[in-house]
Every structure is written in C-alpha cells, then in structure tokens.
C-alpha cells in the first residue's frame, strides 16, 4: 500500500492525520495520504519565500536548463507516472500516458519560452530612456482539480517557476501522488529545495490554509465555480491576483453542410474522454433540425460500441473519480423531467464492474434548454441534445448558460464559421474540430462563470509576472 506525504523544501513530510486514497475502479484503498496541517502549509510557504530570494535572480538560461531536465525525467518515468494517474483517477491508461507527454511538454515549452521573454523599450521622448521589466510575484499557490492531475499541475507550476516564482501546490484530495512525484523529480533535475513544494490533504483543511495564507502572492485555482468564488473572495481580502479556471457547459453546433461522420466522431470523443470529467467537455450538442435525427443516431452508435473497465485495463471508458461523483451524475439523470434517454442513463450492470464508480455513456435528446441537466456542469459521460432552425437560434442556445469556456462549429461555410466564432461567448472556439482545451501553446480560460485569467501559451508568462516601468532621465 502506498504512503503519500507532502513534499516541503525538498523533503517528504509526515502529518499527524491521514486519509485513504481510494481506487475508483474497485472502491478499494490504494494507500494513505498525509493531511497537511495549517502549520505545514505555513512551512511550505516559508520555504518558497526563502528560496525565492535566489531563484528570482537565477539566470533565465539556468532556469530553462532545469525545466528541460524536469521534462526529460517525467518522460523517463512515463509508465510509472501513468499507472499512478490511472489508479488514482480511474482514467484509461492510454489517456494517462498522453497526460504524461503533455505534462513534460509544459516544462519543456516554458523552459524554452523563458529564454525569449523580454520587456519593452518605450520611445517616450529623446531625453528619457523608458523600459519595462517583467518581474515574478514571489510565492504562487496552485490548487488543482482531480480530472487531469498531472497536466493541471504542470501547466500551473512550469510557467510560474520559469518566470522566477516559487510555488506551493495542493493536489486534489483524490489524486495526490503524481504531484508529489513531480516535485521529487524537480529536485533530481537540480531545482533548488523550496522552489516547488507540494502539500497533500483535504481541500477544506489544507486547501483553505493555502488559499488564505498571507505569504502567498498569487493564486491559481482549477475546480468548481462555487469553490472558485470562495478562493476569489479570500484573495480579494488580501488584494492578491487570481487566475480561475472553473466550470463549463460547452456546445458543439452542427449545421447541415457539416461532415457528419467527422462531427459525430468528435462529439462522442469530446464527452467520453476522461469519462466526461473535463471542464472543456463538449457536453451539449446543438444540431440543425434537418440533420438532427441523423446526428443523434450517429452519436448513439458511437456510444453503443464503447468498452468500459478499470483505468489500468485501458478500456475506452473508465470509472468516475469516486462513488460520490457517480451518485451526483446518477441523480442529475434521474431528475430529468423533459427529454428522451436515447442510450445509457444508468450504472452498468456488468458484475465485473461492481464496486467501481462507473456510469454508462448517456445520450439525452430534446432536453429543456433551461433545465438543470442542460445548464449545470454534470462532469460525467452525459451528452444533452437540442435542435435549432438558424444561426441566431444556435447562438442563443450556445450562449444560454452561465458558462463560457469552449464552443465548436461544424460547417463547410467559412463565412458562417467566422460569424459564429465571433458571436459565441467562449474562451476558445473550434471550427470543424474540437480540442478540449487544445495544445500547450493555446491560451486557455473562460468568460462568465467559467472564470477569468488565462493559462497556457505565452500568456501564462504574463499571468505570473507583474510589469515594472523604469523611466531614466538622460
């Protein structure tokens, strides 16, 4: 049985209390996890602040070398990390392997990007030399969700430490092990102790202590809108900048001139990946009335062929992250008042899946667009469908929730595609494809209750630095 401890100032740290890490594929314990106390969170923040005195002055090329070595070590340990991720989260092993690759890419991308991250010279007048500097905030806190533990950690910590900050990360209660492993690999790569710390524990205890700590200069959070609002209020009390990546209810809009084969394949993948536990999942399908029936049939056919099983068995669909999440998804489907369940809608009856937090791929047609199941983030393999008659109605449906994270348009008419891309309220809009957040290089974040600020791409370097303007009289 595994024992998972916090990793503070380059050392593993025990806690007075522990909790069980449950395998969602079986319902059995994988081992125990340390519940970091407020005092241990304070130690981690203090270690980060002490390390920041020298780390922020470390040459960019030296920081770049260390981040690149971290990326290489992550790839070296790919199979071990992928298996831990699959066991903790329940996701198929092949998806976990991809998460390892992407996580390594974050460290290599920001390792290379920091070499060319400059300030500006401003030609104000002949007798003044004016320039800007991008300076790190100091200590950054990162509270990440359980759906993509490695990716979310890497995309937060890599740009933060690349720009000279020192970080304290709090992984999700359910998926703590790979975060600790990354911090240990960072030490092996030559990162000074204290630059990257991990505190494990319960969100209401450890996460709360970190988000309210007076020594934290910047907070990044990935998770629910409800908890994001709590963290934003805590940060506002201290006037600390925050990046929030919250929920989504993203729509895929299919017009009659679209390639329906490609669209139906992408639509199915976008809701089944990671069992639908993706903030950017395409959880709403909006179809032109002339191809509505055909698209529903095509997607249902995809769903009918999906294999289900434990993450480490690498089936197409693994369990939800916990029995609690399984119960939430089931409750939302059971409370349906309008709509036709085309397929799924239940917990699988296969005896081999007993004890796991599984839920069958579910397709619900003709839902009420203002009902909870069409408005709220489900975080499960549940796709709801509505039809529309024209562009204006499609845009109204797409924008008709409190979320605005992603959107997608399927059409052969590029003029229509650009019109729709401009009118859809979302941080990312795809045309004839769907990326569930896209690559490392693409700025990612939302509008409305999907949060604010941007992660990924070069914009993340701006998010973790503040601009200083220097004016010199000549």
Kindly state the DSSP code that residue 201 receives in the 8-state scheme.
Answer: S
Annotated catalytic residue within 85, 87, 245, 316: 245
Check if the beta carbon of residue 24 is closer than 8 Å to that of residue 322: yes
Residues 6+ apart with CB under 8 A from 364: 333, 336, 339, 340, 341, 342, 345, 373, 382, 383, 384, 385
Instruction: Find out whether 217 and 137 touch, Cβ atoms under 8 Å.
Output: yes
Is 245 catalytic? The answer is yes
What's the 3-state SS for 61-113? HHHHHHHHHHHHHHHHCHHHHHHHHHHHHCCCHHHHHHHHHHHHHHHHHHHHH
45 membership: H or E segment, kind and range: helix 38-55
Alpha carbons within 13 angstroms on the beta-carbon side of residue 167 total: 29
Let me know the angle formed at the C-alpha of 245 by 269 and 463, rounded to the nearest 5 degrees. Answer: 125
The span from the first CA to the last CA of the chain, in angstroms, equals 67
Alpha carbon distances (Å) from 124 to 119, 134, 440, 467, 470: 15, 19, 36, 17, 12
Closest CA to 384 of 372, 397, 366: 366
Question: What is residue 440's three-state secondary structure?
Answer: coil
| Calpha distance 86→312 (Å, rounded) | 6
C-alpha pair distances (Å), 92 with each of 76, 150, 171, 272, 439: 20, 14, 20, 11, 20
DSSP 8-state code for residue 15: -
Which residues are part of the catalytic machinery? Answer: 245
């Amino acid at each position: 049985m595994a024992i998972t401890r916090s990793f503070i100032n380059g050392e593993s740290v025990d806690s007075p209390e522990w909790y069980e890490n449950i395998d969602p594929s079986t319902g059995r314990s994988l081992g125990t996890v340390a519940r970091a106390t407020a005092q241990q969170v304070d130690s981690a923040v203090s270690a980060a602040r002490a390390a920041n005195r020298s780390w922020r002055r470390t040459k960019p090329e030296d920081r770049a070398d260390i981040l690149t070595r971290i990326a290489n070590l992550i790839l070296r340990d790919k199979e071990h990390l992928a298996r831990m991720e699959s066991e903790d989260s329940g996701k198929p092993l092949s998806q976990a392997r991809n998460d390892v690759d992407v996580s390594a890419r974050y460290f290599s991308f920001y390792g290379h990007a920091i070499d060319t991250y400059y300030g500006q010279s401003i030609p104000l007048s002949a007798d003044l030399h004016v320039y800007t500097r991008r300076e790190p905030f100091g200590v950054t806190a990162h509270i990440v969700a359980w759906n993509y533990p490695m990716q979310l950690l890497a995309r937060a910590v890599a740009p933060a430490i690349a720009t000279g900050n020192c970080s304290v990360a709090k992984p999700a209660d359910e998926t703590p092990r790979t975060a600790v492993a990354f911090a240990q690999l960072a030490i092996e790569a030559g990162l000074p102790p204290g630059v990257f710390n991990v505190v494990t524990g319960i969100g209401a205890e450890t996460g709360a202590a970190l988000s309210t700590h007076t020594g934290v200069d910047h907070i990044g959070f990935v998770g629910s809108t409800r908890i994001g609002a709590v963290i934003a209020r805590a940060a506002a009390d201290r006037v600390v900048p925050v990046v929030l990546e919250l929920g989504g209810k993203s729509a895929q809009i299919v017009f009659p001139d679209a390639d329906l084969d490609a669209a139906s394949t992408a639509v199915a993948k976008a809701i089944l990946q990671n069992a639908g536990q993706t903030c950017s999942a395409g959880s709403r399908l909006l179809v032109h009335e002339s191809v509505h029936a055909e698209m529903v049939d095509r997607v249902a056919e995809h769903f009918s062929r999906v294999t289900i099983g434990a993450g480490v068995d690498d089936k197409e669909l693994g369990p939800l992250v916990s029995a609690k999440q399984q119960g939430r998804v089931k409750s939302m489907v059971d409370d349906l008042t309008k709509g036709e369940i085309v397929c799924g809608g239940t917990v699988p009856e296969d005896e081999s899946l007993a004890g796991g937090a599984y839920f069958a791929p579910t397709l619900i047609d003709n839902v009420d667009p203002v009902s909870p199941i069409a408005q709220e983030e489900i975080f499960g393999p549940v796709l709801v469908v509505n039809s529309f008659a024209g562009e204006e109605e499609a845009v109204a449906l797409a924008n008709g929730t409190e979320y605005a994270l992603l959107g997608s348009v399927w059409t052969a008419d590029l003029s229509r595609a650009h019109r729709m891309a401009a009118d859809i309220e979302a941080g990312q809009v795809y045309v004839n494809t769907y990326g569930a957040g896209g690559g490392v290089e693409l700025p990612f974040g939302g509008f409305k209750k999907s949060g604010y600020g941007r992660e990924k791409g070069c914009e993340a370097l701006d998010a973790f630095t503040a601009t200083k303007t220097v004016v010199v009289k000549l």
